[in-house]
Amino acid sequence: MNESYTFWLTLAVVLGALALVSQAVCVILLYQSFRNLQARTLALLPKAEATLTLADKAIADTRAELQQTMAKTHQIMDLTHGQLTRVDEFMSETTSRARVQVDKVEALIDESIGRARHTVGLLNDTVTRPVREMSAVSAGLRAAFGALFTKRRGSEEAELTVEIEEKVTQ
């Protein structure tokens, strides 16, 4: 059993040695890969730093422009609010004035209609009064001529005189 034991022990030592050698080769290959990766990374580092610097500058410029735009926007909003307030005041004042003017126009129209009615009444009296008077005079003249040329009794003449007087007074 000693020989078989020795064989197996030798085989285990050889396998262990092979494992250590393969591990050493793997570690060396990993070391070379990491060195290669480090070299590439170091080559990219200045480019990345330059890109980051440009990005920081672009962000700072954009932030400054955004702040200016926001400030201008606030100014525009304040001006717009002021103008809207003024327009609202103007519209309120104009509406009030328009109402006053409409009231004045209505009063003027009412007064004009009243005056027109009064004028029509005066004109009616002015035109119809002479016509009535002329009618009364002509009736009186007819009655007078009728009395002169026809023979009437005394009572009829008295009635005719009363009629003439009534028409003249109208």
pLDDT at residue 150, rounded to an integer:
66
Strand stretches in 35-123, DSSP E: none
Residue 92 CA to residue 89 CA, distance in Å, equals: 5
Residue 86 CA to residue 77 CA, distance in Å, equals: 14
Residue 1 CA to residue 7 CA, distance in Å, equals: 10
DSSP-based helix, strand, coil % in the chain, nearest 5? 95, 0, 5
Averaged pLDDT, groups of 10, the chain, 170 residues long:
82 93 95 92 87 90 91 91 90 90 88 86 80 79 74 59 69
Please, which residues have CB within 8 angstroms of residue 157's CB and are 6 or more apart in sequence? 147
Q: Which pair of tokens denotes residue 55? A: 């990005």
Please, which residues have CB within 8 angstroms of residue 64's CB and are 6 or more apart in sequence? none
pLDDT at residue 142, rounded to an integer:
80
How many structural domains is the chain composed of? 1
Whole-angstrom CA distances from 70 to 63, 81, 112 are: 10, 16, 61
pLDDT at residue 29, rounded to an integer:
95
Given a contact cutoff of 8 angstroms between Cβ atoms, the answer to whether 118 and 156 are in contact is no
Q: Could you tell me the residue range of the domain that residue 93 belongs to?
A: 2-169
Strand stretches in 12-166, DSSP E: none
pLDDT at residue 19, rounded to an integer:
94
pTM comes to 0.39
pLDDT at residue 18, rounded to an integer:
94
pLDDT at residue 67, rounded to an integer:
92
Residues in the chain, overall count? 170
Strand stretches in 37-156, DSSP E: none
pLDDT at residue 73, rounded to an integer:
92
